[in-house]
Amino acid sequence: MILILIYSFYNLFRIKLDFNKEESYVKHKFIQKNDLIVKTENTNTNFKHIELDINQRLKKLFEEDRIYLNKNITALELANYLNIRSRDLPLLIQDTYGCSYKDLISKFRIEHAKSEIENFYLDKHTLESLAFDTGFNSRITFFNTFKKETGLSPSEFWKSVK
C-alpha cells in the first residue's frame, strides 16, 4: 500500500514537472528556417516571426557594424546577437561566406588592415598599433594571418602601396 502511495505521488510530481517544461516551451517556441533554429515570442497564440533574414543580419554585423574589430568577440556572443543557437552559427557562416568563424573574423580584420594601410595609417602609427586596432590580440598573430591572407607581410604590403 505504501509503495502504491509513493508511486502515485511520484507520477503526480513527474506530470507537474512535464507541465512546467511545456509552459516554458510555449514562452520561447522555436521554428525552423533555412536549417537554423530561430527563436520567436508567443503573443496571445500569435507568433511574431523575426522578419529580418539571418544572413542579412550577419552581413550587417560584419560589413556595417564591424563586429570583427572587437578583440573579445566569441562565436557564442555572435550567435546571441543573431538570436540563434551557437551550434547553428557555423552552418550560417559557411552558407553566407563559405568559410569558418575563425577564417571569417581573420578575413575581415585583414581587409580592414589593408584598407587602413592604403589610407596611410602607417604614416602616423606602428604596425603593432595597426594589429591591435584591427582586433588582433598579438602582433605575431596579426603578421602571420596577414601573410596567410595576402601572401605579403604587412610591411611588404605597405611598401607596395607607397
32 plus 46 within the same structural domain: yes
Mean pLDDT, rounded, for 30-42? 42
Tens-place pLDDT, residues 73-119? 999 999 999 989 999 999 889 888 899 999 999 999 999 999 999 99
What is the total count of domains within the chain?
2
Could you tell me the residue range of the domain that residue 11 belongs to? Answer: 1-51
Same domain assignment for residues 116 and 58: yes
Claim to verify: residue 158 and residue 87 sit in the same structural domain:
yes
Mean pLDDT of 23-44: 39
Residue 13 grid coordinates: 510530481
Q: CA nearest 113: which of 77, 78, 79, 148?
A: 148
Of the candidates 115, 146, 111, the residue with the CA atom closest to the CA atom of residue 128? 146
User: Tell me, what CATH number does 69's domain have?
Assistant: 1.10.10.60
> Do residues 16 and 22 touch, judged by C-beta distance below 8 A?
no
CA nearest neighbour of 49 among 57, 39, 58, 37? 39
Q: What is the pLDDT of residue 31?
A: 36
Instruction: Indicate whether 57 and 115 sit together in one domain.
Output: yes
Same domain membership, residue 35 and residue 83 = no
Q: Which pLDDT tens digit goes with each residue over 55-73?
A: 888 999 999 999 999 999 9
Range 52-61, long-range pairs (CB < 8 A, 24+ positions): 54/82, 54/84, 54/92, 55/92, 55/95, 55/96, 57/81, 57/82, 58/82, 58/92, 58/93, 58/96, 59/96
